[in-house]
Each structure stands twice: as structure tokens, then as C-alpha cells.
Amino acid sequence: MPEGAPAPFVVVAFDFGTRRIGVASGDTLTRTAHPRSTLTCGPNGPDWASLRKVIADLAPARLAVGEPYNADGTPGPLTEAARRFATELRSVSSLPVDLVDERWSSQDAEERLRAQRASGLRTRRLSRGDVDATAAAVILERWFDGH
């Protein structure tokens, strides 16, 4: 690492949804994102105990949350809920949280997973959880592109 360059750190990204929250992680050295898991989000909101455990296990320096927009750039139906989630996440974790435009992230994730399945890299059927975790990886890649 060149002298004076910032030390690499871990970033965890979340694809917020009302039923599931996709999780991905990566680091600023390799700038690669890896789908990790999917957490539940029920009628009472996110499973904060599981979120705290993920954050403790991965020890990130920063978090990123997908901010959903419509294709035309206007806020979508989940935009405000994702923003509230990001605010709560910042409070619960005491970490900086960045919002990242997540337009088309789920579609990108589905395409990637289908391509993996077609190539034989993935043999089992795709679940919604697989898509959510991969969408979180797409969000994290966008974060890397912007930083």
C-alpha cells in the first residue's frame, strides 16, 4: 500500500425490503462485493438482533443501504422506509451509513444468478433470498464505484 494511502476497510451493504434484507460485504482493498445472507423483516420491522450480529461478525467501518428510486429518478414506494432503516441502522451501529441508488439492482442480481446457473457454477434453484443478497452485492459495487 502506498505511503499516505488510506488503510483498507470493510463495508457492509443492505438491500432493504419489507420482508427480507439482503446482506453483502466487501473491502476497499479488493473492491469486490460478496453476497452474505438474507435477514427477515417482519410486521414489527427488521430483526435488529440479527443485524447487530452481522455487523459484529463482519466488523465493517462503514455501511451502505440501497435507496430505491423509480426508473425516472423519482422516489419509489419504499424510498422513505429505506431511508428510515438507514437512520435506525446508523443509530444502532454508530457507523457511518451511505445511501446508494439501487435502481435495477434486483434485476442485475437475477441476471447474474441466472448466468451462474446456466454456466453450471450454481446448481440449486434460485430463491428470493439469493436475489436479495446478490442485490446487496450490486449495491456495494455501486458504492465502490462512487468512492
Is residue 2 pLDDT above 70, yes or no? no
Is residue 15 pLDDT above 70, yes or no? yes
**What is the pLDDT, as a whole number, of residue 25?**
98
> 10-146: what fold?
Nucleotidyltransferase; domain 5 (3.30.420)
The 10s digit of each residue's pLDDT in 74-127 is 898 899 999 999 999 999 999 999 999 988 778 777 787 888 777 777 667 777
**108 conformational bin, left if phi > 0, alpha if psi -120 to 50, beta if neither:** alpha
Against a cut of 0.75, is the pTM above it?
Answer: yes
**What is the pLDDT, as a whole number, of residue 68?**
92
Delimit the domains of the chain by residue range. Answer: 10-146
**What is the pLDDT, as a whole number, of residue 66?**
95
**What is the pLDDT, as a whole number, of residue 65?**
97
Q: Which three cell numbers stand for residue 75?
A: 422516489
**Cα→Cα distances 111→25, 65, 70, 104, 115, Å:** 20, 21, 19, 11, 6
Is residue 1 pLDDT above 70, yes or no? no
Using 50, 70 and 90 to split pLDDT, how confident is the model at 21? very high
Q: List, as one string, the DSSP characters of 46-73.
A: E-HHHHHHHHHHH--SEEEEEE-B-TTS
* CA–CA dist 120, 139 (Å, integer): 25
**Cα→Cα distances 142→13, 24, 37, 46, 127, Å:** 10, 12, 19, 24, 23
The 10s digit of each residue's pLDDT in 36-86 is 999 998 888 899 999 999 999 999 999 999 999 888 988 988 999 999 999
